């Protein structure tokens, strides 16, 4: 027989990981973190069921690369979330995995030291420890599901999950979403197409069977019941799709597909045309639509960090600027706080007008 390899031909290394069971045993839930997750998921479900009239606000850094600055952000966001809780249901955006169009840093789990050392086991420990910290503060957390194994390690600490524009069409991610314990937002495709996301929502509502690994790290077939809360996230494409005409078209498409007319608007990405400061314009536009009677917009997403803008990852990591994104550009904290207060004030008036109309009717 030939001595040439025919298995794992292009694999250069294999590094074993902690099992999900081992990681959760090492970094277990606390009573407070469990309460935060349960309350957060119920809160989002109630918004999607129209039992809670508040706006869902997914707010936070494009990606988490420095746990100290991310923790400071969480400590700033928590009191604001509490103050504005009558009109906004604020969930912190905590993204540890980043899809790349070609190449680039793939996120804290994959490469926590940002030096291509790929210490993923350490990254998983860092990610879970941070999620525990934020949830124990009482602040619920949102993330993107990218690697299909990651939810086994972290899923019990997540309130809301996004499936990104690059993976919404993926059968693997649709099946994964059907089994996730959180409400799931599917983004429209990068070209702006919404049909892909509608198909994904329909798929995620249905039962599936797929291959995965158990908490003990054993291969298994998972059978799902279907996710009761998949919904649409508009993130723009070749051009923005947050305007009233686009929203009306999407509402019609959802109704035609017999899907719940629930829309979350991502104020970044294609909608901001990759200009972080334009997120304010997008948010104010959807607030105007709500003031004019829109009933389909249930929430929004903002990319926001301590300082505005973004930075390239320097060769000397000590030169990283504190609180500045290393992926997409973000709004700074001062602008974020102002926008959230303005949003709460304007939506408070919307809710009051709805109540008056209901009483008059």
Residue 183: is its pLDDT beyond 50?
A: yes
What integer pLDDT is reported at residue 40 of this predicted model? 98
Residues 287 and 156: their CA atoms lie apart, in Å, by 33
Residue 75: is its pLDDT beyond 70?
A: yes
What integer pLDDT is reported at residue 171 of this predicted model? 97
> What pLDDT digit, counting tens, does each position of 126-143 carry?
999 999 999 999 999 999
> All domains of the chain, ordered by start, with CATH?
35-48+55-360 (3.20.20.70)
**Using CB atoms within 10 A of its CB, is residue 4 exposed (0-12), middle (13-18) or buried (19+)?**
exposed
89: β partners? 56
Instruction: Name the pLDDT band for 360 (thresholds 50, 70, 90).
Output: confident
What integer pLDDT is reported at residue 98 of this predicted model? 81
What integer pLDDT is reported at residue 227 of this predicted model? 98
Question: H-type helices in 138-204, by residue range?
Answer: 150-154, 171-179, 195-204
- Whole-structure pTM value: 0.96
Residues 85 and 87: their CA atoms lie apart, in Å, by 5
> What pLDDT digit, counting tens, does each position of 236-257 carry?
999 999 999 999 999 999 999 9
Residues 197 and 180: their CA atoms lie apart, in Å, by 17
């Amino acid at each position: 027989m030939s001595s040439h390899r025919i298995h794992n031909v292009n694999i250069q290394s294999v590094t074993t990981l902690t099992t999900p069971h081992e990681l959760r045993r090492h970094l277990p839930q606390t009573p407070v973190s469990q309460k935060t997750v349960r309350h957060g998921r119920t809160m989002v479900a109630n918004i999607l069921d129209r039992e809670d009239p508040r706006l869902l606000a997914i707010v936070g850094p494009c990606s988490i690369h420095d746990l100290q600055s991310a923790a400071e952000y969480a400590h700033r966001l928590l009191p604001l979330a509490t103050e504005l809780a009558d009109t906004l249901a604020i969930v912190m955006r905590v993204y540890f995995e980043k899809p790349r169009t070609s190449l680039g840093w793939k996120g804290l789990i994959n490469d926590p030291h940002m030096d291509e050392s790929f210490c993923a086991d350490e990254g998983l420990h860092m990610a879970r420890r941070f999620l525990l910290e934020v949830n124990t503060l009482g602040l619920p957390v949102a993330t993107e599901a990218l690697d299909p194994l990651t939810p086994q390690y972290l899923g019990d600490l997540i309130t809301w999950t996004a499936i990104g524009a690059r993976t919404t069409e993926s059968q693997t991610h649709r099946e994964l979403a059907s089994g996730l314990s959180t409400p799931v937002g599917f983004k429209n495709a990068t070209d702006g197409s919404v049909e892909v996301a509608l198909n994904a929502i329909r798929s995620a509502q249905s039962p599936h069977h797929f291959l995965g690994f158990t908490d003990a790290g054993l291969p298994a077939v998972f059978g799902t019941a279907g996710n009761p809360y998949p919904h649409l996230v508009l993130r723009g494409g070749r051009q923005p799709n947050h305007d009233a005409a686009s929203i009306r078209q999407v509402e019609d498409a959802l109704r035609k597909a017999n899907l719940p007319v629930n829309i979350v608007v991502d104020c970044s990405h294609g909608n901001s045309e990759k200009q972080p400061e334009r997120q304010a314009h997008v948010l104010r536009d959807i607030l105007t639509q709500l003031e004019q009677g829109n009933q389909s917009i249930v929430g929004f997403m903002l990319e926001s960090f301590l300082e505005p803008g973004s930075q390239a990852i320097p060769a000397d990591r000590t030169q990283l600027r504190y609180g500045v994104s290393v992926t997409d550009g973000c709004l700074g904290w001062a602008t974020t706080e102002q926008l959230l207060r303005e949003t709460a004030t304007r939506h408070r008036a919307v809710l009051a007008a709805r109540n008056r109309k209901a009483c008059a009717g």
